[in-house]
Amino acid sequence: MEEKNTLLIADDVMINRELLKDIFEENYEILEASNGEEAIELLDKHQDEIALLFLDLVMPKKDGLEVMHHMSLNGMISTIPVIMITGEATVESDVRAYELGAADIIYKPFEPAVVIRRAQNIIELFRHRISIEKELELRTQELIESKRKIEQSNIFLTNALSAVVEFRSLESGEHIQRVKKFTRIMLWHWRALFGENQFTNEQIELMVNASALHDVGKIAIPDNILLKPGRLTDEEYAEMKKHTIYGCQMLEHFKQEENEFYQYCYDICRYHHERYNGKGYPDGLQGDEIPVWAQVVSIVDVYDALVNKRVYKDSFTIDQAFRMIHDGECGIFSPKLLECFDDAREELTIETQKEQQKVENGKGG
């Protein structure tokens, strides 16, 4: 950092300025102001060079108080130390000077040796503090940047892993992306509706990313079942259901204790086919035993399957899908989840139509 090498002396009495000038002119450039207005002008013009301001409180035009006020408004009070010069040592005037942001107070008449030492100390202190603050700012920037990179590689990895599933299961390539979008919409509405479950923005994004992995266990399902165009036999269906378990087994290889993201991934893989009435699989959990994030993914997974064409079925309209979900045709969801689903209906509809438009355009081109 470049060293600031200028002192500003603001005092209306020339003798006082001269005394300070004599003390410091050997080592510093000196600027002088004989009133508050001049001081403010010089501060504005030279704020990057001024290492210290000696400020008299009682001055014509604008007084020291107004000079400090100006410095506060312009952020200079934290970068330029002010040593207040005062004629009398009363507790009130001292307290007032410090309240205004003075770094130190010097009483007239000055003792040069003391003034020099104090000025040096304060200049050093500010220099040190400013460099620490800059260092801290730099470190914070680096931290934010590396956190962003980690988040990006998380997204990349979850997308890559889920793409493997899509590739094998011949499902529409956009299913995962839509589930993520719908999950995000639902979680925001959930948070707005039910204050008791205040997820942070960060947590919501972790859940959204985890939702991409909901079907990752399908990798372990044999082709003759996964890709079967017709109806599955009971036996085949039983195997298909195990994708929830297989997904968790895979994740367990990468288990990270106390890791929130891992927990969301695990819960979503395992419980996204559980139902409120305990009739889901694989564990038959009931009611609130099913984590909210898994509940949310379960409803948007069903919704997306309904409004899109699959090898085994045609697509339903958005209205039909909402009605079928409410009627329990795809399993029973919690009343709160359904309330949230209705609350999010407008946004889900807009997003669904946007996605369908994309598919249409894809066909045309």
Least Cβ distance, residue 61 to another protein (angstroms): 13
Question: Is residue 87 at the binding interface for another protein, with CB under 8 A as the rule?
Answer: yes
Among 6, 12, 241, 336, binds another protein (CB under 8 A): 12
- Least Å from the CB of residue 109 to another protein: 4
Nearest to 81 by CA among 171, 8, 181: 8
Q: Confirm if 345 and 186 have CB atoms less than 8 A apart.
A: no
Strands (E), 13-157: 29-33, 50-56, 82-86, 104-107
* Binding of another protein by 55 (CB under 8 A): no
Q: Which residue has the tokens 């984590």?
A: 291
Question: ω before 282 within 30° of 0 (cis)?
Answer: yes
Taken in order 212, 215, 220, 223, the sign of the CA dihedral is negative
For residue 25, state whether it binds another protein (rule: CB under 8 A): no
Q: Within 10 Å of residue 95's Cβ, how many Cβ atoms? A: 10
Residue 14 as a binder of another protein (CB under 8 A): the answer is yes
Helix, strand or coil for residue 331? Answer: strand
Question: Considering the rule CB under 8 A, would residue 108 count as an interface residue with another protein?
Answer: yes
Three-class DSSP category at 30: strand
Single residue of 19, 176, 216, 348 touching another protein by CB under 8 A: 19
- Nearest CB to another protein, comparing residues 18 and 166: 18
Nearest CB to another protein, comparing residues 109 and 195: 109
- Of the residues 1, 15, 73, 91, which one makes contact with another protein according to CB under 8 A: 15
Q: Does 110 bind another protein (CB under 8 A)?
A: yes
Contacts with 137 (C-beta within 8 Å, 6 or more apart), sequence order: none
Amino acid, single-letter form, for residue 355:
E
According to DSSP, the residues that pair with 53 across neighbouring strands are: 8, 82
With CB under 8 A as the contact rule, the residue among 48, 72, 112, 312 that binds another protein is 112
Q: How far is the CB of 69 from another protein (least distance, A)?
A: 20
Q: What is the rounded (10 degree) CA torsion for 311, 315, 316, 318?
A: 120
* Residue 218 appears among annotated catalytic residues: yes
Residue 327: other Cβ atoms inside 10 A: 8
Binding footprint of another protein, residue count (CB under 8 A): 15
d(CA 70, CA 76): 8
- The number of CA neighbours under 13 Å toward the Cβ of 247 is 32
* 93: contact with another protein by CB under 8 A: no
- Cross-strand partners of 329: 331
Give the residue with the Cβ less far from another protein, 20 or 31.
Answer: 20
Q: Rule CB under 8 A: is residue 94 a binding residue for another protein?
A: no
Q: Out of 62, 181, 218, 358, which one is annotated catalytic?
A: 218
Q: Stretches 13-21, 34-42, 292-300, 352-360: which one binds another protein (CB under 8 A)?
A: 13-21
Provide, rounded to whole angstroms, the least separation between the CB of residue 24 and another protein: 13
Kindly indicate which of the ranges 16-24, 146-154, 238-246, 268-276 contains the residues binding another protein, using the contact rule CB under 8 A: 16-24
Just list the catalytic residues. Answer: 218
Query: Under the rule (CB under 8 A), what is the footprint of another protein?
Result: 12-16, 18-19, 22, 58, 87, 108-112
